[in-house]
Amino acid sequence: MLRLRPIKKDEKIAIAIPTKNRPSYLAVLLTSLLNQTYTNFMIVINDQSDSPVARDDALTDLFTLAKTNGHEIKIIRTEGGWKRHQQAMEAVPESIEFILRIDDDMLPDVHFIENIMKPYFFFTDKPLAAVGGCFPGPNIKPVNLDVKLTERSRTSALDELTWKLQGYRYYNDPEVIEAESLLGGAILYRRGAVENAGGWAVEGYSDQAYREESDLCARLVEKGFTLMVTTEALAWHLCAPGGGARKYLKTPRGNLLISDDSNTKSDDKLFNERMKAILGKSGRAAAEPKRYKMSDLQKRVLKGSPLRTLKGRALKAVESKVLRKFRGLYWYFTK
């Protein structure tokens, strides 16, 4: 196993932002970053826009403000394709070990960086390679984590990729949870681990790069690294309808993908082939993830508990009973 450098108390990190034709969303993201409680970072913008972001007046003001506050801003121009993320990584100074890759249509809360870094400080003896947060849509309200974790599909395994834990809810319960795959959008990577697993770029994926992050997570797990989710790190997914790799139509029922999905299907096929090879070679079964309460971690108690608890199952049963009764009353009064 690769020996990883421990995180420093006031670690300087890089924030890598891919962007394409979304200047207003990028401005919202930059504004949030400039108000973070954790302030020791530089920003690398991977610009694929038709009109360079440096020509946008509002963004230029934000770049100036960032520099005034001591944040280095580096803008690189790429033309898309599978190499673009690797080029962003190579633009980060070699002295920086931790890189937050975040989409340009995310809105992190002001404690996001501080919170997504915490697991690295707690689990210094684990080969922790990447940490993700929770990324709900603007219309989502918090739910009970103990109830939701009774569903095995809440966390992601290599042979069952779902991100219900991260992408569809957020929680009042501050915990850190092990996973085998992380939802893209905002992931804090350890550079040494990524390089050991072959780098960010994987040849063969389309410009839409539908499974690129999943592929990287799988390669990290194959190498023996650990991935985690922290429910404290919250970033709203605004889901820009235009620009980027895919196009969406905003409706009252949510965002509908309207761009050509042939490339995403192609990426899915390539990803499934690669995962079949990885799982076949390792012969491993997905391990039951552990969960760690933040209150315990702050006391330096690093003993994790099973994902599904008797309390959680009981709460789930009560929730199901209440829902059945509600549906019965609804049917009675509306028949």
pLDDT tens readout for residues 148-161: 777 766 667 776 66
The answer to whether residue 318 scores a pLDDT higher than 60 is no
Q: How far is CA 48 from CA 72, 77, 79, 182, 205, in A?
A: 20, 6, 6, 24, 17
Q: What is the pLDDT of residues 256-309, one digit of tens each?
A: 666 566 767 888 888 888 888 877 776 555 567 899 999 999 999 998 888 765
Q: Which residues pair with 16 in a beta bridge?
A: 44, 101
Q: In order of start, what are the domains of the chain with their CATH numbers?
A: 13-309 (3.90.550.10)
Q: Is residue 109 within 8 Å of 133, Cβ to Cβ?
A: no
Burial 95-111 (b: 16+ CB within 10 A, else e): eebbbbbbbbbbbbbee
d(CA 90, CA 254): 36
CA distance 131 to 126: 13
Cα(335)–Cα(267) distance, rounded to whole angstroms?
A: 47
Say if residue 46 is exposed, middle or buried (CB neighbours under 10 Å; 0-12, 13-18, 19+).
buried
Mean pLDDT (the chain, rounded): 84
pLDDT value for 335: 46
Kindly state the tokens that stand for 31.
């504004």
pLDDT band at 334 (very low <50, low <70, confident <90, very high): very low
Q: Among residues 301, 94, 76, 83, which one has the least CA distance to residue 205? A: 83
Please state whether the predicted TM-score (pTM) of the whole model is above 0.95.
no
